Structure 1
Amino acid sequence: MNKEQFIAFQESGHFTIPALLIEKYANLGLNEAEFIMILKVQYYIQRGIFFPTPEQLSEQMSISTTSCTSMLRSLMQRGFLHIEEFQQDTIMYEKYSLKPLWERLYDSLQHEQAAEHKLLEKELENSLYTVFEQEFGRPLSPFECETFSIWLDQDYHDPIIIKAALREAVISGKLNFRYIDRILFEWKKNGIKTIEQARNHGKKFRQHQQKDRSAENDSHKDYVRKVPFYNWLES
């Protein structure tokens, strides 16, 4: 669900959003009184009262009309609420809109997800260092650590793909950073982005190598057969 769909869903009259708002309102910078005010405005909008007065809002709240007016002004100044115009039967009306609130809530969720993803990537990166050191049987050198950073920060290789390249190097018996870097370069050039694609590419490469070795061995055998055998003991 993108931002436009998210906002349209909230504006369509569904009242499922408060569960999310209950969880996140403090993170957005709203206090409890402001949170209730937001709910009251949404409640009136859904009843078809698009521009409730401070008097109407304070009727069922424990704060005065003056406090309601002040709070509404504060919510608009801080970007949680705004007033927009709409036309009905050639007459222009004003109404409250909670679109700014939904936008901020959506952006907050996106930020949290990005932060969680970044944390997960960092954990994968740290575990990847450990896997490399275990395979090499020693701590990584400063040059190797720098190469590692280039793979992640400049070449944007997925940690899982880097781990797969390490596996290919181990299988090939060429455990060094230059060989792993070459694998990653070839994979990127061939558009390999998933672990399954990497496995299939590695399998095909090894099969091709085996065929080349077999053909080379056969050519050597043919060459040996063409050389006449000479018995030096009978000369």
Structure 2
Amino acid sequence: MTTLNEYLEAGQTVISNLLLKNYHRLGMTNDEFLLWLQLYSLQNQGDLFPDITLLAQDMGNTTEQAFQVLDKLEKKGFLKIETFTDDDNKKRDRYNLSYIFERLAVLQEQEKFKTQQQSEEASVKELYRSIEQEFGRPLSAIEFQRIGDWLESDHYSAELIHLALREAVLSQAYNLNYIDRILLSWERKNIKTKQQVADEQKKRKQLIMQKEIDQPTQNKTLPKVSIENWLDE
């Protein structure tokens, strides 16, 4: 029976859960990953070019089967046999196992891009739905095209167009021309984010309040509702 000391002295092989979860998505079979893991473990113990025959015995495979799996790993680009010069100026071979991490990084970027793309598509669908809801009618083909131009040609984000829609609704202007004027005004001021829109609105309110303070008391007329008139830009 293995004692606790024997277990601890055998050492441990630490592998990222990210790799454990995604090796199959990278195109590795279970046998290929197990052999790569065995090589990785031995390299961490200082054996840069392990004996495949001994590995085959540990895995319960024949030497021929182990070499077949090794050949597949090399052809798929998960490892390469390299020659290097050690500290004693001797030529030695080793398995370069780092390629799997490069492949994993590429996979992660692809997943992030896919998630971002799906999120953007959902935002665009929500934008069209919101405009139709605020206008109280379906959008025409021309209106769909115009909104598409804002997104594709003018590169306005769906979030920014949604904020412009809210400004138009507050001004009771239910048309795309008014929204377009708002977007152009923000573009001239290099406003591209929700926070920048909020900062601009805060600045406008401060200017209005300052003008009211500067006016003589007898001439001050307070509006019932403070509305942004974007057509006066």
Does the 8 A contact of 1:83 with 1:96 survive in 2? yes
Does the 8 A contact of 1:84 with 1:95 survive in 2? yes
| One of 44, 53, 65 as aligned partner of 2:51 | 53
Percentage of pairs with the same residue: 34
Larger radius of gyration: 1
CA distance in 2, matches of 1:42, 1:91: 23
Residue 104 in structure 1 maps to residue 118 in structure 2:
no
Mapping for residues 9-88 of structure 1, pairs under 5 Å = 15-17=14-16, 19-88=17-86
- The equivalent residue for 1:90 is 89
Mapping for residues 163-182 of structure 1, pairs under 5 Å = 163-182=162-181
- The equivalent residue for 2:4 is none
- The equivalent residue for 1:139 is 138
Partner of 2:73: helix, strand, or coil? helix
Does the 8 A contact of 1:168 with 1:202 survive in 2? no
CA distance in 1, matches of 2:173, 2:202: 16
Does the 8 A contact of 1:165 with 1:183 survive in 2? yes
- TM-score scaled by length of structure 1: 0.78
- TM-score scaled by length of structure 2: 0.78
Q: Tell me the alpha carbon deviations over residues 100-133 of structure 1, each in whole angstroms, 9 at most, x when there is no partner.
A: 1111111111111111111111111111111111
Q: Tell me the alpha carbon deviations over residues 12-34 of structure 1, each in whole angstroms, 9 at most, x when there is no partner.
A: x98232x2222111211111111
Q: By percentage of residues, which structure has more helix?
A: 1
Partner of 2:104: helix, strand, or coil? helix
- In structure 1, stretches of 5+ residues that fail to align are 1-12, 219-235
- In structure 2, stretches of 5+ residues that fail to align are 1-11, 220-233
What value does the CA root-mean-square deviation take over the aligned residues? 2.5
**By how many angstroms is 1:203 displaced?**
4.1
CA distance in 1, matches of 2:179, 2:169: 10
**Paired letter, 1:127:** E
Q: Which moved more, 1:180-189 or 1:34-43?
A: 180-189
